[in-house]
A and B are shown apart, each in its own frame.
Chain A
Amino acid sequence: EAGVAQSPRYKIIEKRQSVAFWCNPISGHATLYWYQQILGQGPKLLIQFQNNGVVDDSQLPKDRFSAERLKGVDSTLKIQPAKLEDSAVYLCASSLGGLEGDTQYFGPGTRLTVL
């Protein structure tokens, strides 16, 4: 079974530029999560989709971050414009459902460096 795929693996941009990350979850997984992991910290949930609807985006900085999950499969996370403090690893995860206890499977992440 293929795991969660993410691209690109690395991205370096200058502040105020835009960037987009892509995630392909495990086939059949209805729930998709985007986490931000700043160096030295644990992952923090940015947004959670159930199929193509958002169920939690309470920690998403909506003035600069946006995400979509068209057709309930792939997802993109965009930052526009980027700030220095956005430097982090962006992890995508998926689970079969959104119920408590459903195992979340993580992709390898995209490491973003903002200069």
Chain B
Amino acid sequence: GEDVEQSLFLSVREGDSSVINCTYTDSSSTYLYWYKQEPGAGLQLLTYIFSNMDMKQDQRLTVLLNKKDKHLSLRIADTQTGDSAIYFCAGRASGGYNKLIFGAGTRLAVHP
């Protein structure tokens, strides 16, 4: 089945770029997702990428997909304190009805 792994913690200075990395095992995942979770809140979909794409840009967010290495990354340009949160990478489980498999999440801390 699908397995998703992420680094657990990232600290950046305000204004710098943040890069959060994720690796996944199931190459049949057609969609790969990035969700954001702020303290005490549910998950908010940030962006997703279709497996036939290498890159997707959405304002300050850039998603890169390396299918050969099964590696996904999320780059946040000009990181702000409001970006401090936990970021989850998720892939679709093979054979599931839109069942998502989440990584453990990367906690992003933005300091002045």
Contacts and interface: CB of A to CB of B under 8 A. Distances in A.
Contacts, number: 63
Interface residues of A, number: 28
B76 interface: no
Which of the four size classes fits the interface of chain B? 20 to 34
Contact of B92 (A41, A95, A100): A100
A108 B42 contact: yes
A42 B102 contact: yes
A102 B98 contact: yes
B103 A42 contact: yes
B31 A91 contact: no
Interface of A: 4, 31, 40-45, 48, 50, 55-56, 91, 93, 95, 97-109
Interface of B: 4, 30-31, 35, 40-45, 48, 50, 88, 90, 92, 96-100, 102-105
Shortest beta-carbon contacts, A-B, top 5: A42-B102, A106-B42, A106-B43, A98-B97, A55-B97
